[in-house]
Amino acid sequence: MVVLKDETASIRSSDDIVRVRRIVREWAVSLGFSLVDQTKVVTAASELARNVIDYGGGGDFRIEALNNDARRGLRLTFSDQGPGIVDLEQAMKDGFTTGGGLGLGLGGAKRLVNEFLIDSKPGRGTTVVIVRWKNL
């Protein structure tokens, strides 16, 4: 697998969430993702970027364009040095309502992408890596 190109950005405020969305959208378009796939990966990125701010106290974002044997994809990494997640299993469960805002949206974001990896320990921060492949 080859990384064709990559870019990083820091996520400090809600303006950065908009910026992350824009970057992911541009890259998804240039890789030739279908409209629905674009929307899914941008939305997932929005959810995870928001988590970095809401729960991580700010953090970093990296985007990479991948080429795996003629299959193109996008890999996004969201990392923060926040308090970390105590109960990962619980966190992955859907818990939001339209009014409440409960739940981290992790379960939802996971359903929007092809690969989802999370590494989080209390006191060690959180890193989430997602991959969305372009449907050939």
Query: Which of 28, 112, 130, 131 contacts another protein by CB under 8 A?
Result: 112
Between 115 and 121, name the residue whose CB sits nearer to another protein.
115
Does the footprint of another protein cover residue 90 (CB under 8 A)?
no
Q: What is the DSSP string of 53-92?
A: HHTTSSEEEEEEEEEETTEEEEEEEEEE-SS--S-HHHHH
Q: Residue 80 interacts with another protein (CB under 8 A)?
A: no
Among 20, 50, 56, 63, binds another protein (CB under 8 A): 50
69 binds another protein (CB under 8 A): yes
Residue 81: how many CB atoms within 10 A of its CB? 15
- How far are the Cα atoms of 74, 109, 124 from residue 6, in angstroms, in the given order? 10, 21, 25
Interaction between residue 89 and another protein (CB under 8 A)? no
> Considering beta carbons, is residue 2 or 123 the nearer one to another protein?
2
Member of 26, 39, 55, 134 binding another protein (CB under 8 A) = 39
Which segment (56-64, 74-82, 104-112, 123-131) binds another protein by CB under 8 A? 104-112
Q: Are 91 and 85 in contact (CB under 8 A)?
A: yes
Pairing of strands 125-133, 71-80: antiparallel
3 binds another protein (CB under 8 A): no
Q: Are strands 2-11 and 71-80 parallel, antiparallel or unpaired?
A: unpaired
- Contact flag: residue 58 with another protein (CB under 8 A): no
